[in-house]
Structure 1
Amino acid sequence: MSEARTASVQSVEGKGRRGAPQPDGRSVAPLWWVWLAAWPVTAVFVLSNAATPLYVLWQRDIGFSKGTLTVVFAFYIVGLVGSLLVSGVVSDRVGRKPVLLPALGLALAACLIFATAGSVGALIVARLFTGIAVGAVVSAGMAAVTDVAGPERKRIAALLASCAMVFGAGLGPLLAGVLSETAPAPTVTVFAVEAVLLLTAVFAVLRMPVRRPAVRAKGAWMRVPGVPRGNGRQLALGTAVFAPGITATSFVLSLGPSLLSGLLGTTSRIVAGAMAFAMFLTATGVQFAVQRLSRRAVLTAGAASTALSMIALIAAVRSSEVAVLIASALLAGAGQGMGQLGGLSLLNSGVPPRRLAEANAALNVGGYIPAGILPVSAGYLSDAVGLTNGATIFGAVLLGLAVVGGLIVRTTRRQVTDPA
């Protein structure tokens, strides 16, 4: 079914200012609405990593190991993957708003739990709720950006949705680091600020000019997300590069503060938050820099950047050079950014709107499963053999995966040659 035909059988779900009409008679939302539609993605991703610089405080006050820390981090992945099994399918059937609004409610609940956490169990619940909310926005939220943009602006939609994700992911730890060092109640203030951001996102979703499917598809409501027949290669190519990239940044988020403490001898939350922010700021900037390149070039560069990041990580922990560790983080951010942009662009170019949220969910399932398993394994391995050896083994494994992903892209010309 063509995109125009798909759009013609949809009914209006929200209100908003309209622009010029499309050829099928529908009006086009102005460009500022496309930017605003990406705001809920940013707001939720601020929460996703806001806790990163604060774990050293909770470790001190509650008491738990690096292995336990990565388990707390992994419950975010559990919630996210579980959400992806449902949110993409539900969003494509009942609309974006019925998925996004409950997700924002869970994110607000996570803020309250984080702010009052006094046990590992509370941190686990807060991370679980955060993961569920993130799963909803990476499927329904990113699809909503494409819906608002319309079929003529798919490239800008993919770019804004991807950048909204990584910019929010970097802004969270920076806010937490600065506020926890300069404001009272170091584990409370950032979540109060984040709650305000989430409330503005609720308002944006309520007013968002997105459309609700008039006819619901058949099939199971909860299933492993996938793509329509014929789009499997696009999904596989995107996942081959996106998965190692996001696994690299997940490692930096979960064990980066411990590495900084070992190399610098500092527990400054501002330093830890700034490194994470710089990593994701790189992920944001690189996507604007490469947006006019072919998808094949973007994905190849993403794989190469992740591979170089792991080489730098191994060198950093072996030489105790902080500058090399920071370079590793920046390269990891660039690898995730390009892998994510390339993957989303491939899906936007070939998957019809009625299946786009599920396709986005499938891409993220493929990325976040290794992003949960490998850093947790590295955390427990570090407890057993030391942080240096654990990080070295992790870097070697991920280096191999990144190289394989790059080779897959380089040997597949079809469907990856158009501009991203």
Structure 2
Amino acid sequence: MPAAPAQPVTATVPGTEHRASPRALVAATLTLVLAFAVSSSPVPLFTTYRRADGLTDGDFSLATVAYFAGTILALLVLGRLSTHLGRRPLALAAAALLLAGALVMLRVDSLAPLALGRFLSGLGCGIASSAVMSYVVDAAPRRPAWLATMITSQSPMVGLTLGALGSGLIVEHGPRPTTTVFLVGAGAMTLCLIALAIAPETGPRLRGALASLRPRVAVPAAARPLLPALAAVVVSTWAMGSFYQAFGPSVVADGLGTDDAVVFAVVFSAYMLPSVLGAPIGGRMRAATAQRTGMTVFAIGVLGVLTALALDSVVLFIAASVVAGAGQGMAMSASVRSVLSTATPAETAPTMAAVYLLSYSGAMAASLISGQLTRWYGVEQIVIGYGVLAVAAAVVTALCAREPRPVEAPAA
């Protein structure tokens, strides 16, 4: 019989009791999905920028690094703030930053506005990865127990997919795509601001807001044995996601022989969207089993991507991306489920911040290194490094994955 997902602790100190709220859950989930949709919307425009403004793969890699730098800064400095100020104020700040990023990118004619807009988007997504995800965990009902972890682990993938597909369609069939894409993004964030403004607060408001701004990464003591497998999963899978963001348009244009933005969006979505399908499959397994199985599938998919690029096969590239994405969903969802099962409500925000700090750090490091390597190597050679990373991560996960030991809440 499949193991039931471990459930996060529901109370620790006065003021941290579970406060399920359907209205807050809808507002937080909408914000989480649309935040990542807006963050991925510039990517299908990279080919347009390269053709019209002379931007290079190195420029796009640096813009991706700017995005990840913003997320990491937000997670380090603001990752625990929602425990003190509340989830909703930080969620509103995330939506406002993403709105500002979309407005900055209305006029991209060089690397500077693209990097600034991506940095602001990164700040917003960094806050979303902590405060908004914690908002979801707070607002979700206790049953089904897997709902909160599925939303928090898979909303980024759904959002990234929607953003890429919507932007790709606008690029190919819409008017003035370099403007329209970001006007749509600004409208989406305005909708989120309205939804959040009328949603109730659900999180704790503890003392120590100023002290929480000191950069510190913390996870519950019970989660520390889970960190080696967690790090292997999130670093490798998010690094591969950064490959699709930074080099996807070039792969489609140069390696696969087309510059159609919709084709790129489909290729990008082929990696991101199957993650949502992999998550519930992994949810029916014990966490460690799902991590090992998911990473094995992920590594097989990444090796298939390498083979597809060597053979110039679009069909094989998409099929292999689907396999890798499904494996990512299984492993990532199980990893989030494991660490959340050890966290109290007051520890949820810093725990989510730590998880996504690892994720974004791996993605940024991969983007920075691969961007520098474009000076000497082509994308077909650079992607081999991602394949090595995927196989190494699968081996580490196989050796280090273990079942969590949820901490029971003390009696009231």
TM-score w.r.t. the length of structure 1 is 0.88
Using the TM superposition, name which of 390-399 and 214-223 deviates more.
214-223
Give the corresponding residue for 2:126: 135
Give the corresponding residue for 1:57: 48
Could you say if the C-alpha distance between residues 33 and 93 of structure 1 is closer, same or farther in structure 2, counting changes exceeding 3 Å? closer
Read off the aligned partner of 1:9 and give its amino acid letter: G
CA shift digits 1:38-89 (9 cap, x unpaired): 1110010001111111011111222132122211111111000010012221
1:106 pairs with one of 97, 110, 114: 97
SS in 2 for 1:64: coil
Correspondence list, 1:21-420, <5 A: 28-30=20-22, 33-151=24-142, 153-217=144-208, 219-409=211-401, 412-413=402-403, 415=405
Please give the alpha-carbon distance, in whole angstroms, between the structure 1 residues aligned to 2:44 and 2:19.
45
Read off the aligned partner of 1:386 and give its amino acid letter: G
Read off the aligned partner of 2:169 and give its amino acid letter: V
Could you say if the C-alpha distance between residues 27 and 54 of structure 1 is closer, same or farther in structure 2, counting changes exceeding 3 Å? closer
Matched-pair contact (CA < 8 Å) for 2:44–2:164 = yes
Could you say if the C-alpha distance between residues 399 and 382 of structure 1 is closer, same or farther in structure 2, counting changes exceeding 3 Å? farther
Read off the aligned partner of 1:227 and give its amino acid letter: V
Q: CA deviation at 1:172?
A: 0.4
CA shift digits 1:230-254 (9 cap, x unpaired): 3212344322212211111221221
Please give the alpha-carbon distance, in whole angstroms, between the structure 1 residues aligned to 2:220 and 2:143.
21
Q: List gaps (5 residues or longer) in structure 2.
A: 1-7, 407-412
CA shift digits 1:122-164 (9 cap, x unpaired): 0000010010000011111111011012555542111122222
Matched-pair contact (CA < 8 Å) for 2:296–2:394 = yes
Read off the aligned partner of 1:49 and give its amino acid letter: S
Matched-pair contact (CA < 8 Å) for 2:98–2:124 = yes
SS in 1 for 2:175: coil
Give the corresponding residue for 1:3: 10
SS in 1 for 2:221: coil
Using the TM superposition, name which of 181-190 and 373-382 deviates more.
373-382
Using the TM superposition, name which of 183-192 and 236-245 deviates more.
236-245
Q: CA deviation at 1:364?
A: 0.8
TM-score w.r.t. the length of structure 2 is 0.90
Using the TM superposition, name which of 393-402 and 71-80 deviates more.
393-402
Using the TM superposition, name which of 127-136 and 93-102 deviates more.
93-102
Matched-pair contact (CA < 8 Å) for 1:89–1:222 = no
Could you say if the C-alpha distance between residues 414 and 98 of structure 1 is closer, same or farther in structure 2, counting changes exceeding 3 Å? closer
Read off the aligned partner of 1:242 and give its amino acid letter: V
- Kindly tell me the number of residue pairs found equivalent between the two proteins: 398
SS in 1 for 2:79: helix
Could you say if the C-alpha distance between residues 93 and 44 of structure 1 is closer, same or farther in structure 2, counting changes exceeding 3 Å? same
Give the corresponding residue for 1:16: none
Q: CA deviation at 1:324?
A: 2.2
Matched-pair contact (CA < 8 Å) for 2:298–2:327 = yes
Could you say if the C-alpha distance between residues 154 and 64 of structure 1 is closer, same or farther in structure 2, counting changes exceeding 3 Å? same
Read off the aligned partner of 1:61 and give its amino acid letter: A
Could you say if the C-alpha distance between residues 2 and 71 of structure 1 is closer, same or farther in structure 2, counting changes exceeding 3 Å? closer
SS in 1 for 2:258: coil
SS in 2 for 1:385: coil
Please give the alpha-carbon distance, in whole angstroms, between the structure 1 residues aligned to 2:203 and 2:84.
8
Could you say if the C-alpha distance between residues 176 and 103 of structure 1 is closer, same or farther in structure 2, counting changes exceeding 3 Å? same
Q: CA deviation at 1:384?
A: 0.7
Could you say if the C-alpha distance between residues 223 and 139 of structure 1 is closer, same or farther in structure 2, counting changes exceeding 3 Å? same
Read off the aligned partner of 2:256 and give its amino acid letter: L
Matched-pair contact (CA < 8 Å) for 1:240–1:408 = no
Please give the alpha-carbon distance, in whole angstroms, between the structure 2 residues aligned to 1:217 and 1:339.
35
Please give the alpha-carbon distance, in whole angstroms, between the structure 1 residues aligned to 2:352 and 2:104.
29
Consecutive aligned runs of 4 or more in structure 1 exceeding 6 Å deviation: none
Matched-pair contact (CA < 8 Å) for 1:241–1:406 = no
Matched-pair contact (CA < 8 Å) for 1:235–1:346 = no
